[in-house]
Amino acid sequence: MGARLVLATRNAHKVGELQAILTDAGVEVTLVGMDAFPDVPEVVEDGLTFEANALKKALETARATGLPAVADDSGLCVDALNGMPGVFSARWSGRHGDDVANLDLVLAQVSQVGDESRGARFECAAALALPSGEAHVVSGRVDGVLIRAPRGTGGFGYDPVFVPHGHERTTAEMSPEEKNAISHRGRAFRALAPAIAHLVVDGRAL
């Protein structure tokens, strides 16, 4: 079973993804999402950086649940859009979480951009917070290019149009294991795993 750890999201994809990443890293925790705490309100992501949003979500979730909490904020940063949509990735089209509309808008905005200028990167900040207020934040990124039409049915968000450097498939065409091995979120949470093991699994936070 392992210690309980709350992931500050109601996105089931992220819960499963992080559970797999931590298990692969040898960190034995029981991960639960915010669906287990229906009375806890959503945290307003009003930070201007991924790090600020991740820290705020982790700290507020730890205080509200009384359990160690992890949170991440991540997004797609497109070179031709001056690093946007960035922290606005999940609501780029105006509606939070509308993956199809967000993806379509980004593709439309770079439709006239030549193949040599379609660089992009996924960035992720991951934070761990204890109910005491102690917190840690790390980051990860993966660089690549945007293709012109979606490919693949795996992943979520902008995965169908992002091909990491050194690969020919989009992250939506990769297996979950392949994606986790190279993804921005995988890199960030693997970097956070030692802090989770030290502060949560060894019993200090229980």
- State which amino acid sits at residue 50: F
The active-site residue, picked from 72, 73, 98, 202, is 73
47 near 95, Cβ under 8 Å? no
What residue has token string 């992943």? 155
DSSP H/E element including 105: helix 99-109
Name residue 8's amino acid.
A
| Dist. CA 125–CA 90, nearest whole Å | 15
Output DSSP code: residue 130.
-
Q: Which residues contact 164 (CB under 8 A, 6 or more apart)?
A: 142, 143, 144, 171, 182
Q: Any catalytic annotation for residue 73?
A: yes
Which residues are annotated as catalytic? 73
